[in-house]
Structures are given as structure tokens and as C-alpha cells.
Structure 1
């Protein structure tokens, strides 16, 4: 149950918390049964941090202070216990948990959308004769999805093969005028190399990432932020909805593009 609570909390903040704050959070959840009497000074002492460090953790979680953090954790824990006591299957528990995280991240993504950036993206998509699309790892799957969705409606789009010889990349680059880059962390060396070359060739760069302050963000002309973790703190257990959100965002861009060309 404590692991479920940890997953739920981490899913809402991604990797905005550091390793020290992660350790504090683990400690607080471990003391969930006597949390109300567990003072901030005790927590700071047991985790070798200052009370101000714990206060900063509260801010990152969107809470006003330590008292609200304790209430929030206790309340979420009781909700999970209540769900389990109602004999909800583990499959449904996980599904409902993921649904909650997805809804929160979707809301945060929508709230952070800069409409001017989205409108400019649509205009560039309309004017571009050929689009390069790039991503590595799981982001390559999202990039492939974007490429195929736009190819279906007749837009010439090309998925960058990161393993292809440089000469092939340069030849395709010379025929393109826009580059869409998908990268959750924005720090992939493969992505940065390809993007840097495209930038030098004068292509407009649009980055879809959860890390606006990344090196990719610095290269991009437009950043379309997706709320979600850049790297899971716990690869085995932490839930991140970035990939699902990015796919949904591709569909949103497609919808807006279709509406724009119908005008």
C-alpha cells in the first residue's frame, strides 16, 4: 500500500524532486501510521537535511507547508486503503491510479500550452513542403506515429533514422524546411547532434519535451511542453504518462492542422 502511495505522489511531480527529497518522501510514507506526530525537525534530522529542504519539497508538491503535506499523504493513504477494503481488484486499482495521474498531467499540460506557439506550429506545418521528424528510444515511436499520421493526410514527412550514415541525413535535410523533435528529457546526445545540424542549415525547430530548460529547448524555435517526468526516479515502479500525453498531443496537432487547412 505504501508503494502505491509513493507511485501516486511521484506520478504528479515527475522528476522535479531530487534524490534527497525523494528520500524524505520515502521516510514520510514509511512513518505514515504516526505521521501526525512526526515533526518536521524529526524528519529533517532523520534524513540529514534542513527543514527548509522539506519546505521546498512541499512547494514542489503544490502544498503550503509541512502540515498540509502530512495531511495530504495521510488522506491519500486512507483513500487507497478504502479502495482496497472494497475488494477492488489489483488491475482496477492500477487502472484508477493511472487514470488519476493521467488526468492531473493532462490538466497541467493544457494549462501550460502557449496558444501563440501552437498557432505558429500549425502555420509552419501548413507552409512546410517537407517535414523531418526525429526521436530516440520510446520517443522514436511517438515520432513515427506523428510521421505516419501526417503522411496519411498527404503531408510529406520523413522519420529521421538515427543510425543512418550522415550523408543520407544531409541529403534529406537539404529537401526539408521544418523539423519536429520529440524528446522527453531533451538531453539525448543523438537528438542534439541531429538538431544542431538542422539548426545550422536554417530549419525551423519545434521541440516536444517535458524539459523546457534542456539543451534541446535552447536549440528549438518553439517548445511545446508535455507535463511528465523526464526520467523516472524508479524505473521499475514509477508511473509516468508522458508518452501517452505526447501521443494525445500529436492527435491534437493533427486536429488543429486539419481545421486550419479547411478554412
Structure 2
């Protein structure tokens, strides 16, 4: 709810207000503005300026957003991994999901180079995917650094497999466009087909699970991504065995 940009814009009084709210969020959502002012020893005008800095028109809107934020945190702690696994199976595996994996495997099998890319938890899975593909006979490399320089003119026979939950991260999109402009085919693995990365990809595999946040951290399950990577690698191996 509070971004780094918002926090750095706070003055000394607003920082003390912020610290009180963080420690007493469950109480603040039921307070009146005068009660919060008395507890934090600031004026109501300071509270209203604080609210405007975090994109709220007033204290009432701030309390609504704070409650939604707390509810989201609580909900994310209630559901087990089994729920998201069954959600993935119900929503995705019953469709033409396997056809996208087959298309990806055929594209990768014909490619001279395979490059995995992701950041954060997707970066860890990019490294895992490159290692797994290499273990099954298709050598692959990975990039986890969004600022990694890519100046190669030898990418026309390559496939880039880009992992991103949202498919909207700026540096991920910039790298995808750069690889595409250099002649690389783009395969994206995202949580939805309705994202920018999916739309600019040659092939998109979307797994559709509920996104979960814990505070500002995206802790959406990555089980579907592991399945996609491993199943694609196995399909590539079968293609090589039948050639």
C-alpha cells in the first residue's frame, strides 16, 4: 500500500504518522480522524496531507484502502498450495494447453540458441529452466539481470523463453522487444494472455492462477511454471528421439 516513493516524500510528522499506522493498522481502520490525530499528536490537516500523498482524497478513502489491504493480506494466508494447484488443473489443463507446449517444443527444437529470461522468482525459474533443458539435451542459457547487455547480431536462430507473472514489467518488455528486434522468437510464460508481453510474443503459455501478494511481495505460486518448463523439455526430448 505504501510505495518507496510515497515513504521518501513524507516529512518528519508524516513519518511518525506512518509508523503509528503500520503498527496499529487494525485499530486505525475504525478510528475517526480526530482520534488518530490525538493518538499521533499531529493535526488533522497533517493527516489529510498524508492521505493525499498516498493518492487518497480524504481520510475515509484512506481507511477503505487500508482495510482492503489488510483483507488481502489475510486472504493470502488462508489458502494452501493445494488450492492453487487444483485451480491450475481446473482452469488450464482441461483446455488446449498441451498444444501450446507442443508448439513451443517444436520451435525450441529447431532453434540454434535458447535463452531464458526472468527477474525475481521468475529469474530463479529461468535458471532452473536453462539447466533442465540442458540436462535433457537442449543446451540453454539464462539471464536474470534486467540490465544485462545484449548486443549480439547472432540471434536470428534463437528462441527466448521469458517468464513473468504479470507480463507488464517495464524492463522485461524492453528486453523482449530488443530480442525480437534482433530476430529472436519470443515464447512467454505468463499468468494471463491479456498482458503486453503475451501480445508481443510468438507463442504465449498462460496458466491462470489467482495472484497473491504479501504486502508488496508477489507470492503467486510458480508450480504451473515448473510444470510447463519440465513438460516442454520432455516434449523436446521426444522430438529428438523420433527424428
In structure 2, distance between residues paired with 1:161 and 1:240: 19
Match of 2:204 in 1: 223
How far off is 1:129 after superposition?
1.2
Instruction: State yes or no: 1:174 paired with 2:174.
Output: no
Contact 2:114 2:140 in 1 (8 A): yes
Cα distance in 1 between the residues matched to 2:207 and 2:106: 20
Q: Is contact 1:212–1:225 with CA below 8 Å preserved after alignment?
A: yes
The one of 121, 136, 145 equivalent to 1:138 is 121
Q: Aligned partners of 1:229, 1:108: CA distance in 2, in Å?
A: 11
After superposition, residues 94-133 of structure 1 pair within 5 angstroms as 97-133=80-116
1:111 to partner: Cα distance: 2.3
CA shift in 2, pair 1:200/1:234, >3 Å: same
Which structure is higher in helix share? 1
Pair 1:198-2:179 in alignment = yes
Normalized against structure 1, the TM-score is what? 0.56
Q: Residue 36 of structure 2 aligns with which residue? A: none
1:206-221 to 2 correspondences below 5 Å: 206-221=187-202
Cα distance change, pair 262–215 in 1 and its aligned pair in 2 (3 A): same
Is this contact kept in 1: 2:213–2:220, CA < 8 A?
Answer: no
Match of 2:230 in 1: 251
Bigger relative CO (Cα 8 Å, ≥ 6 apart): 1
Q: How does 1:70-109 map to 2 (within 5 A)?
A: 97-109=80-92
Match of 1:185 in 2: 166
Cα RMSD for the two superposed structures: 2.8
Paired residue secondary structure (2:166): coil
CA change 1:106–1:155 in 2 (3 A) is same
3-state SS of 1:170 partner: coil
Once the 2 structures are TM-superposed, how far is the Cα of residue 194 of structure 1 from its aligned partner? 0.6
Distance 2:115 2:161 in 1: 6
TM-score by length of 2: 0.60
Structure 1 residue 162 displacement after superposition:
2.4
Alignment of 1:55-66 (within 5 A): none
SS in 1 for 2:103: helix
Give deviations 1:88-108, integer Å, cap 9, x for gaps.
xxxxxx7x9431331222232
- The count of aligned residue pairs is 167
Mapped partners of 2:105, 2:157: distance in 1: 16
Matched-pair contact (CA < 8 Å) for 1:98–1:239: no
User: What residue in structure 1 maps to residue 47 of structure 2?
Assistant: none
Asked if the contact 2:159–2:184 (Cα under 8 Å) also holds between the matched residues in 1, the reply is yes
Structure number, greater radius of gyration: 2
Partner of 1:89: none
